[in-house]
Amino acid sequence: MGNYRLYCSECKAAFDDVFLNICPSCGNAGPLVRTDYQVSKFKPLNLPGFWKFLPWLPCIEWNDKIRSQTIVYKSNGLSKELGLNNLYIAFNGYWPEKDANMVTCTFKELEAPPTFQRASERCIDNLVIASAGNTARAFIFAAQYFDIDLYVVVPKNSIYKLVLPFQVPDNVFIIAVNQDSDYSDAITFSGRMANALNLVPEGGARNIARRDGMGTVMLECVHELKRLPEHYFQAVGSGTGAIAALEASQRLLSSGQYLDALPRLHLSQNQPFTPLTDAWNNGSSELIKIPEDKQRKAISEVFAQVLTNRYPPYSVGGGVYDILNTSEGSMYGITNADARSAGKLFESSEGIDIVPAASVAVGSLIQALESEKVKADDTILINITGGGENRLWEDHDKNKIEPDILCDSTIEMDDLKHALEACHDQRNVR
């Protein structure tokens, strides 16, 4: 439609976007498809929030009611503590004093609106997502501005994370699965549910709108600095945000407007659950096979639960292994104690609280500095993927979310269908 086409890096096919998140020829085994925009130059528009980057988003129109954006600024406090001269912070969260207005306090608020806008422009009337918390909050936030039913699958033990400063809209249906489920179980269940009930899966890492939406973190950085950073730090669960950062960087360099090199990616996970870190640091192009019971035990001990994806896109074409190779990147494992300490250091030096995943990223910056992978004068961007929750609740009331349906993962899909139909009837929606 209009401003872009999709293409496959493997078979070189180019095709129109019909909300198909895979190459028609290569299928699910193929690489991540990417967007080829008609506008090759980086030309931000005079639009609010991340919509200023509309020429490089897979949408024709923009939603005026959503004005989320990343705030990029040069650090004074943390940089002084660490002895860094060119540390820039990409803050995603709620910090009104800096015009940061993400009411879900997560950079997932950059990916949900373009996903809905893309779906709406293709006359799709429902989406199914899986989440351990952040993605759910962001998609629930965006759903209120679109005429699209949203089905959110979360592990039951993640329900406590779904706290919002607004009421859940009537077009959102929350399904909580199993007391002992994790994020990966929710992903599996949502796929089964979408197939059985003829619903539309949003696509995860394969969704170009999610990746290009999160890629606006890098675009905002370059819009502010007029150059690419030399190093990029982020904590990762699936690694989709890091993939987005590299893709955005490649698009910027392809514009011919910048003479910089690609940023080196510094990605981190929270010990003891570090599948991406373990594979990369062992020189493996495939995830190392670990018994499921050991994975679940490690997940239960992690401080930053949102980083616990058991099925990350590591070896897929264009996935985490490829972007680390392309950027000559590094991966880090950060202990709970070091992450907590790093989070406290950030808050005391910068003046705002940050979420556990962002604390892991700060921990990796400290580790990289100690191991001399970065130098004092290097231009560094750290993606604070969420922050300002404490600040948010100073200004807003909390609305705790209860699931519409609580079920076992083995539920018959016909029974789930009837339960969802009852929810629809009760709300007088589709």
**Per-residue pLDDT tens digits for 223-250:** 999 999 999 999 999 999 999 999 999 9
Please state the φ and ψ torsions of residue 261, each to the nearest 5 degrees.
-90, 170
* One domain for residues 266 and 314: yes
Residues whose CB is less than 8 angstroms from the CB of residue 24 and which lie 6 or more positions away in sequence, other chains included: 13, 15
Give mean pLDDT, residues 380-385.
98
Residue 408 has pLDDT above 70, yes or no: yes
The answer to whether residue 228 is domain-embedded is yes
The answer to whether residue 57 is domain-embedded is no
Q: What is the pLDDT of residues 23-47, one digit of tens each?
A: 999 998 899 999 999 999 999 999 9
Residues whose CB is less than 8 angstroms from the CB of residue 322 and which lie 6 or more positions away in sequence, other chains included: none
Pairing relationship of beta strands 172-177 and 405-407 according to DSSP bridges: parallel
Model confidence band, residue 429 (pLDDT cutoffs 50, 70, 90): low
Model confidence band, residue 160 (pLDDT cutoffs 50, 70, 90): confident
Pairing relationship of beta strands 71-74 and 4-7 according to DSSP bridges: unpaired
Give mean pLDDT, residues 397-424.
93
Q: What is the pLDDT of residues 179-191, one digit of tens each?
A: 788 888 999 999 9
* One domain for residues 220 and 278: yes
Q: What is the pLDDT of residue 26?
A: 93
Q: What is the pLDDT of residue 2?
A: 65
Residue with tokens 């998140």: 21
Q: Comparing 108-117, 147-156, 420-429, which segment has the lowest mean pLDDT?
A: 420-429
Amino acid letter for position 426: Q
- What 3-state DSSP class applies to 174? strand
The answer to whether residue 60 is domain-embedded is no
CA-to-CA dists, residue 54 to 35, 135, 223, 246, 249, angstroms: 13, 21, 14, 18, 16
Are 207 and 139 within 8 A, CB to CB? no
Q: What is the pLDDT of residue 340?
A: 98
Q: Is the dihedral angle over the CA atoms 109, 115, 116, 117 positive or is it negative?
A: positive
User: CA 183, CA 357: separation in Å to the nearest integer?
Assistant: 15
Give mean pLDDT, residues 192-205.
95
> What share of the chain in percent tops pLDDT 70?
99
**How many domains is the chain built from?**
3
Q: What DSSP designation does 285 have?
A: S
* One domain for residues 340 and 374: yes
User: CA 230, CA 374: separation in Å to the nearest integer?
Assistant: 9
* One domain for residues 328 and 406: no
Amino acid letter for position 7: Y
Q: At 148, list the tokens.
A: 């699209």
Q: What DSSP designation does 33 have?
A: P
Give mean pLDDT, residues 95-115.
97
**Angle at 241 (CA atoms; ends 359, 118), nearest 5 degrees:** 135
Q: What is the pLDDT of residue 384?
A: 98
User: CA 127, CA 202: separation in Å to the nearest integer?
Assistant: 6
Q: What is the pLDDT of residues 287-326, one digit of tens each?
A: 999 999 999 999 999 999 999 999 999 999 999 999 999 9
Give mean pLDDT, residues 192-201.
96
* One domain for residues 213 and 280: yes
**Residue 6 structural domain:** 1-38
Q: What is the pLDDT of residue 1?
A: 52
The answer to whether residue 261 is domain-embedded is yes
The answer to whether residue 416 is domain-embedded is yes
* One domain for residues 240 and 345: yes
Q: What is the pLDDT of residue 428?
A: 66
Model confidence band, residue 109 (pLDDT cutoffs 50, 70, 90): very high
The answer to whether residue 146 is domain-embedded is yes
User: CA 237, CA 184: separation in Å to the nearest integer?
Assistant: 11
Residues whose CB is less than 8 angstroms from the CB of residue 380 and which lie 6 or more positions away in sequence, other chains included: 84, 86, 87, 88, 229, 230, 231, 232, 233, 365, 374
For the chain, percent helix, then strand, then coil, each to nearest 5? Answer: 40, 20, 40
Q: What is the pLDDT of residue 258?
A: 96
* One domain for residues 202 and 294: no
Q: What is the pLDDT of residue 179?
A: 72
* One domain for residues 374 and 273: yes
157 HSE (CA, 13 A, CB side): 11
* One domain for residues 78 and 117: no
The answer to whether residue 49 is domain-embedded is no
Residue 430 has pLDDT above 80, yes or no: no
Of 239, 235, 204, which Cα lies nearest the Cα of 320? 239
* One domain for residues 224 and 322: yes
User: CA 272, CA 307: separation in Å to the nearest integer?
Assistant: 11
* One domain for residues 352 and 405: no
Average pLDDT for the chain: 95
Reported in sequence order, the residue ranges of 196-263 that DSSP labels E, i.e. its strands, are 231-235
Q: What is the pLDDT of residues 241-298, one digit of tens each?
A: 999 999 999 999 999 999 999 999 999 999 999 999 999 999 999 999 999 999 999 9
